[in-house]
Structure 1
Amino acid sequence: MSHFKMKRVIWIILILTINYLPAQERVYYADEVLVQASREKSGITLLPFPVHSTSGFDFLSNYYPDLSGLVLVSPSVMLSVNSRKNEIRPVFRSLQSENGSVLLNGIPIGNPWDDSFLLNEISSDMLQAIEFYPSGGDMSNPNQGITGGINIITRKARAPFELSSQIQTGSYGWKSGKITFGSKRGKLGFLLSGSHTAYKGAIKNTDYKTNNLSASLNYGLGRYGKLGLFSTFHSSDKGAWGNKPGEAWRFPFWQTFHTDLNYNVKLASRTDLTSRLFFSRWDNLLIAYNDSTMSSEKYRSLHHNKSFGAEFLGNVLVSKRAVLSLGVDSRENEMNTTNEGKKAINRGNAFVRGFYDMQRVVKVFIGTRCNFSDDFKWRLDYEGGLTIMPKEILRLKLHYSHLTRFPSLRQLYNETNDPSDHSNKNLRPTLSDNYEVTLEYEIKGKIAVSLTGFKTMAKDLVGTTPAPPPVRFRFDNIKDATLSGIEFALKGQPSLWLSIFANYAYNDGRDRRTNERLENLIYHHGAIGVQASVWRINPMATLTFRSEEPYRASNGEIKHLPGYYLVDAGIEARIIKHISAQILFKNITDKIYFVAENTQGQPREIRVGLNLNY
């Protein structure tokens, strides 16, 4: 879609918004499902695919300053720690992060350069919950993830006065401070948050300093209209390991910015509408040095990437048992880098999705989505699913989806003709067929247990093939690949003083032509977490584990990183009514492990701090 056409779509969305601004009506419900035009899932237990949420596990955000500690709750997501760039990425069902989808309040926030997202770029200060969607969720999600997706939901002010803050200090020069202030009075509500973190690093040249600022504003227009604004800014100065052992990198600045403006209204025709404008920008400078002494520069690389777009969502209550959802979004993605050059393309989609409740025992979902892109012809996705509930505490979920994934700009384009670039202009979109069966059971309404079996059959999955130095690899399509596995999840509060979660995942991915294991695929991983509340003391502990990981070494060979486990433990104690003290032991057993080639993970660390919540 051309730049002119994209602007035309945005103007249409704005005109639609102006037309329904004065509307006044109420919220409608269709048998437990809230009719609202939002990608935050209401009644998520009714969906025909498993959705795991961090709701109820707020204690994790007290110990971890960013989102990396919170993904432990889901068996579908694990962490990829890339020490070359001091990055922590979510990996969905053990495939590379580019195959997943990350949304911030329903808006794609993956860097258009490589469609990736860094968990350590978003502070946990403003977090309400994270929802995890194996196989990417439903047709309403833009930028569909083949193997999964997450939706980061930010919170809004709910009280006339809200104030929280935290200060921490710890091993290897760790210092952290954050403060959040908000208020909700009448039709106006706002939240402001700021944080700063400094860390010298246990490993040479992995130090960093980060700053995060976030703001949320909500205002009621008319009796049933709502205007919302959310913005977040991240900046850092950090070091990292280079492509080769002994090579050093520095990022004097690394900045990301996301903002979206939205308007939601309830119409008299039992319709809920939301329109939104959004903008994101990524700026960073890399200085690569010849060796670890950083005495002479090897090269510099500068990134200025951005994304701008608009969307329109609608939910219509067709009858007491049926809901129809529809929407359209259009966005311009642009990369502007030293290596790949400047390139801008327009992408978007339009979807229709229906829900029908059959006697409250069987719930049916069907949907379709048309994906469009400047560089490919339009593609049609579709899905269908059932939720069968013979009892309130027992649910059987069946889900099928056919999904399209367009390659990222980095994978496709090399506008500078750099011979060392990894791009491949002949890449084809990935097409996948996804099958899932899930059984969910609630134990006395206190503990939820789920077991999921899944299989993904992907055509033209984007992977890599070896290339001679200095390139090492190029992006290429894997003609026929499969990914299958089993996921188990348990979470809940068996008593008022105890919260627990536990999960395990087995993944197996193969190139069907050669039967070789897919690169970076990990067979086994999982996590266990527990927090207790005894008088004024709240101890907690988490255990994470993973099996070996295959990777492509710097010489092009496939090697394996050994598997490992890590244990974190902490205690929070209330001193007076609104103030508490805490201590956290990361990697308490001082386990030696490797996160990348010749790159050791962090040793044991201790962090202590004070919390204020009012």
Structure 2
Amino acid sequence: MKTATDRGISRPRHLSLTVLASLLPFAALANDPVALEQQVITATQTAHSELSAPASVSVVTREELEKRPVYNLADAVKYLPGVHLNPSSAYGRQEIKIRGLDSDYTLLLVNGRRINSRDALTSNYANDFDLSAIPMAAVERIEVIRGPMTSLYGADAMGGVINVILRQPTNQTEAGVAYSYEHPTEGDSGDSHKTSAYLSGALVEDKLLGNLILDTTDQAAWQSDQLRLAGTDAAEKRQNVSAMGTLSWILDERQSVDLDMSYREDDRKARWNNAGAPQPLTTNVQEMDRWTLGLTHNGRWEGFNTRLRYYYEDVELMDDSQLMTNMRGAKGDVNQTNHTVDGQVSASLGNQLVTLGSEFRRTELTHNQNLGADTEVDQKAIYLQDEFSLGDLDVTLGGRWDHHETFGSEFSPRAYGVYNLTDNWVLKGGAGKAFKAPSISQADASYGVLACRGLCTVYGNPNLKPETSTSYEFGTQYQDERLEAGVMFFHNDIDDLIVTETTRLVFNPVLGRPVPLRSELSYYNLSKARIKGYELQGRYHLNEGLSVRANYTYSDSEDRETGDELDYTPKHVGNIGFDWRALPQLDLNLDYQYTGSQMVYVPALANSERSDAFHTVGIGARFHATNELTFNAGMNNLTNEKRDEVAQSVDHILMGRTLFVGFSYDI
């Protein structure tokens, strides 16, 4: 990727890569600094190295993705600092939490464009369809920003941003196929098959380039004796088929037009323990078809760059689940359509790099069992960012004005500084404000979502206020050719946090099953919440063939009204990994993850209980048989770790030991 300077834009001086202060005393062992190949663009929408980026940034490369069985974004980012995967359904779905905030506060982007189907399928039993919307075979790298980025991206970016950068068409012909198989050694069934194919090349040399990615996953449902009701699924059955393609038309040395399209068929089926009672045993079937179309014009002019694009996303959902059919006694038929038009100009003005952009988004939602009528919501925004240097201090100032047609206008400012102590060592920190408007399901009184395992209904509340937050972070980072080290302290105050009312389930002797004290619930604004903590991370290359990487996140969360700890927010999460080139053709890796104790909400008690800490170990191997052919194998949850009785009581089951094997062939 070209830097801003390569594109003809002068910019503040940039440095090297990432991160961890607890290892900084070892810096004396390192050699001379090296130039970085890795660039990130999500933090400012302009090119930076990880070290110079005005944010807490982590990058997952394609090489790292190929080491492990990765089926969706959650699998791809689970070992990063500040990231916690939370079970968000009773049958194996997950959500990504960044710095203690739920997945609703993590903005998912593909090449800088948001993907969103949460209004089509939203419930206490999760929606990770967006996490699975991008075939991993199409991914070049993943950039993760920890901390709010509302000043650039608007609502939904209060917790952070995950930006998936796709593989771009190449002038040279490239092709490849890959297959992997995963088998649980504990429980019943659960086998998974994943196949992908990739083709890229020039249709007209140096003028018209294209690529095509195909991806399929067939994962059987998995049962475990840890479940309270025999016959239910700890992990649902999934069948996915994806096709994604890009055409890049190079008009001249300054202009290009990109057209990309994708289609994904994502079918899910699970048997689950409805209401936690011995009966009924319910089968949930959800089938989602997603079409996307993007058209982008990129201009690289003398002293400034431009981008103008349109993005269309259409989501069709057939929902034959207890969550839906209990509402009106019929299958759900839901359609969500998203239209986005945005434009951006980055220009060099003296020693400043100024970025000006605007965005218009329209969400259209039809629902045969919810909403009084078809719903349409418009949002528009304008943002401005200025990057400049004051001696050794690189400063980024930005602000975004958003207007939501229902909830009015919000302004989100941000200021960040990176102070260059040396060419390898920086101090960085900043502050900003962020907001998140209620979703359609949260704000529309006619939109009902089943809860209490099917016994209650949560209706929207039109009196909700947007959530707002004020965040601060400060830390230091160091990088050279052997050591990467950093520590970052963060503090996030949240006002008007949107939460769901709860009710207690009590046993009814006449009906012979638990029933709720209240059957109709709603959302409300929690006055104040606070999450603060710190992240440590680093990597040390012991020699050319062996390196160790580690990170640790401490999070202290609190409901400021009650003083209680927030649910599903462990105080301690840590990761340790080893990468070893044992032979010229053989790479080995080991990953250990510790997840500390956390509060888990138990519906039958209408209360939160503490669930104990747990840990997992994974090992993997890659054998390069030839330049084109690679085999890989390994094991997840090597120690067959199980979660405690509190987690098992709500069917949050950790998948047992699994074996995986696979191969890839690239030409």
Letter matched to residue 250 of structure 2:
G
The alpha carbon displacement at 1:374 in A equals: 0.8
Deviation, structure 1 residue 425: 1.3
Aligned length: 581
Name the amino acid aligned to 1:410.
S
Q: Deviations over 1:526-561 (max 9, x none)?
A: 222332222211112222221223232223222333
Q: Which moved more, 1:108-117 or 1:573-582?
A: 108-117
Q: 1:449 aligns with which of 464, 485, 493?
A: 485
Per-residue deviation, 1:322 = 0.8
**Percent of aligned positions with the same letter in both sequences?**
16
Matched AA of 1:284 = L
Partner of residue 177, structure 1 = 195
Q: Aligned-pair distance for 1:199?
A: 1.8
How many angstroms apart in 1 are the aligned matches of 2:288 and 2:540?
A: 38
Q: Which residue of 2 aligns with 1:18?
A: none
Tell me the secondary structure at the aligned position of residue 120 of structure 1.
coil
The equivalent of 1:307 in structure 2 is 338
Letter in 2 for 1:598: D
Trace 1:233-382 onto structure 2 (pairs within 5 A). 233-240=263-270, 241=272, 243-245=274-276, 247-268=281-302, 270-288=303-321, 300-319=331-350, 321-341=351-371, 342-359=374-391, 361-382=392-413
Is residue 136 from structure 1 mapped to residue 151 from structure 2 by the alignment? Answer: no
Q: Does 1:153 align with 2:165?
A: yes
* Cα deviation, residue 78, structure 1: 1.9
Corresponding position of 1:549: 598
- Match among 76, 83, 88 for residue 82 of structure 1: 88
CA distance in 2, matches of 1:233, 1:210: 11
Secondary structure class of the residue paired with 2:463: coil
- Conserved? CA contact 2:457–2:521, under 8 Å: no
CA distance in 2, matches of 1:35, 1:604: 35
- Name the one with the larger strand percent: 1
**Partners of 2:274 and 2:131 in 1: CA distance:** 22
- CA 1:138 to 1:41, structure 2 compared with 1: closer, same or farther past 3 Å? farther
Cα separation, 1, equivalents of 2:78 and 2:46? 20
Correspondence for 2:637 among 564, 587, 595: 587
Q: 1:563 to 1:248 in 2, by over 3 A?
A: farther
Aligned to 1:600, what secondary structure does the other structure show? coil
Q: CA deviation at 1:404?
A: 1.5
Deviation track 1:208-232 (CA, whole Å, cap 9, x = no partner) reads 2111211122221122001112333
Q: What secondary structure sits across from 1:156 in the alignment? A: coil
- Report the CA distance between 1:315 and its aligned residue: 0.4
> What 5-or-longer segments of structure 1 have no aligned partner?
1-24
Deviation at 1:197, TM superposition (A): 1.4
Between the aligned partners of 2:625 and 2:201, the Cα distance in structure 1 is: 25
Is 1:200 equivalent to 2:215 in the alignment? no
Paired amino acid for 1:428 = K
**Secondary structure of the corresponding residue to residue 139 of structure 1:** helix
List aligned pairs for 1:40-59, cutoff 5 A.
Answer: 41-55=47-61, 57-59=63-65
CA distance in 2, matches of 1:26, 1:414: 50
CA distance, structure 2, for counterparts of residue 471 and residue 499 of structure 1: 55
Distance 2:47 2:256 in 1: 18
1:54 aligned counterpart, secondary structure: strand
Change (3 A) 1:26 1:122: closer
Aligned to 1:559: 609
Counterpart CA distance in 2 for 1:95 and 1:138 is 15
SS of aligned partner of 1:42: coil
What's the TM-score once normalised by structure 1's chain length?
0.88
In the TM superposition, what whole-angstrom CA distance separates every residue of 1:254-299 from its partner, at most 9, and x where no partner exists? Answer: 223333211110223x111101101122222222359xxx9xx975
Q: Report what 2:574 is aligned to.
A: 526
Q: Is 1:475–2:523 an aligned residue pair?
A: yes
Q: Which moved more, 1:28-37 or 1:500-509?
A: 28-37
| RMSD across aligned positions (CA) | 2.8
Q: What is the SS of the residue equivalent to 1:573?
A: strand
Deviation at 1:109?
Answer: 1.1
**d(CA) in 1 for partners of 2:62, 2:240:** 28
Provide, for residues 434-456 of structure 1, a one-character-per-residue CA deviation record: whole Å limited to 9, x for no partner. 000021012x3333211010111
Which whole-Å deviations, capped at 9, do the CAs of 1:275-329 have from their partners, x for residues lacking one?
1101122222222359xxx9xx97533321221110011101001x211111000
Q: What is the distance in 1 between the residues matched to 2:376 and 2:241? A: 29
1:40 & 1:363 partners in 2: Cα distance?
14
Contact 1:210/1:237 (8 A) holds in 2: yes
Structure 1 residues 36 and 467: alpha-carbon distance in aligned structure 2, compared to 1, 3 A threshold: closer
Whether 1:98 aligns to 2:151 is no
| Offset, 1:177 | 1.2
Whether the 8 Å contact between 1:32 and 1:43 is mirrored in structure 2 is: no
TM-score, normalising length: structure 2? 0.81
Match of 2:507 in 1: none
* Structure 1 equivalent of residue 458 of structure 2: 421
* CA 547–422 in structure 1, closer or farther in 2 if over 3 Å, else same: farther
> Structure 1 residue 56: deviation in Å?
7.1
Structure 1, residues 325-367: CA drift from partner, whole Å, max 9, x if none? 11000101133334432422111311011011123x1111111
Contact 1:146–1:432 (Cα < 8 Å) also in 2: yes
Alpha-carbon contact 1:311-1:329 (below 8 Å) kept: yes
What one-letter code is carried by the residue in structure 2 that aligns with 1:363?
Answer: D
One-letter code of the match for 1:445? E
Q: Is the 8 A contact 1:550 1:561 kept in 2?
A: yes
CA contact (8 A) 1:210 1:236 kept: yes
Distance 1:416 1:385, change over 3 A: closer
Q: CA separation in 1, counterparts of 2:80 and 2:246?
A: 27
Greater CA deviation, 548-557 or 194-203? 548-557
Which shifted more, 309-318 or 603-612?
603-612
Question: What is the SS of the residue equivalent to 1:239?
Answer: strand
Whether 1:438 aligns to 2:475 is yes
- Change in 2 beyond 3 A, CA 1:451/1:416: closer
CA distance, structure 2, for counterparts of residue 391 and residue 499 of structure 1: 24
User: Contact 1:87–1:120 at 8 Å: present in 2 too?
Assistant: no
> Is the Cα–Cα contact under 8 Å of residues 557 and 565 in structure 2 kept in the other structure?
yes
Partner-residue secondary structure (3-state), 2:152: coil
Partner of 2:73: 67
Q: Which amino acid aligns with 1:581?
A: F
